[in-house]
Amino acid sequence: MRQSDNFDNGAILGALLLTFGVGGLLFALIGPAMGQPASPPSISQSAQEGVSVTQLMAVIAERDRQYSQRFEAQEKSTTIALAAAERAVQAALTAAKEAVQKAEMASEKRFDSVNEFRNTLKDQQLTLMTRGEAEARLKDLDRRISELATEMVRRASESRGAGELWGIIAGVAGILIAIAAVVLSYSSRQHRRA
């Protein structure tokens, strides 16, 4: 090993020792890997075991590699989860668009039927007569019916009068014929007697 590597490793080790303390650092980095008990080892135990800076750096590098793998796995799973969430959002947006389109089509159909109904009412309004116009026509029809009824009564009266006149004329003619027949029959009997 070069001396500059020892210096860098020593600087890193010193910074870690200051940050965590010797016992905490060894417990956090070496203990679980070497099957040490749950309590942090003391400084004298670490010195007796003879842990060198190189070994400590190897443990740090291994832990760094494990943390990197864990970070990459988390990043990968986060990316997958985000992609799945994005697909779900896209599916939801597509479904929402389809629902909006269906709702718009249903509204258009409903508005078309409402417009058709309005047009029917408008056509009826244009073709059907108003109440005032109907009342005026009914009054005119009533007047005409009354005139026709009066005319029929007048004509019936005239024909009854004419019928009665003809009846009188026929009766008088019958009486005159009967008188003439009686006179002729009396005169013919008198002529036969004479």
Asked if 17 contacts 25 with a C-beta cutoff of 8 angstroms, the reply is yes
Other residues' Cβ atoms within 10 Å of the Cβ of residue 8: 12
- The model carries a pTM of 0.34
What gap in Å lies between CA 130 and CA 64, rounded to an integer? 95
For the chain, helix (H) and strand (E) counts, in that order, are 6, 0
The DSSP code for 35 is T
- CA angle, corner 159, sides to 153 and 164, nearest 5? 125
For the stretch 32-43, pLDDT in tens is 544 444 444 444
Residue 129's contacts (CB-CB under 8 Å, 6 or more residues apart) are 137
pLDDT tens digit at each of 194 positions of the chain? 444 444 455 555 555 554 555 445 445 555 454 444 444 444 444 444 567 889 989 999 999 999 999 999 999 999 999 999 999 999 999 999 999 999 999 999 998 889 898 999 888 888 887 888 889 989 998 899 889 888 888 887 777 777 777 788 888 888 888 888 888 887 777 777 76
| Encoded tokens for 71 | 């970070």
- CA angle, corner 118, sides to 112 and 123, nearest 5? 125
| Encoded tokens for 14 | 């010193």
What gap in Å lies between CA 139 and CA 145, rounded to an integer? 10
Asked if 12 contacts 57 with a C-beta cutoff of 8 angstroms, the reply is yes
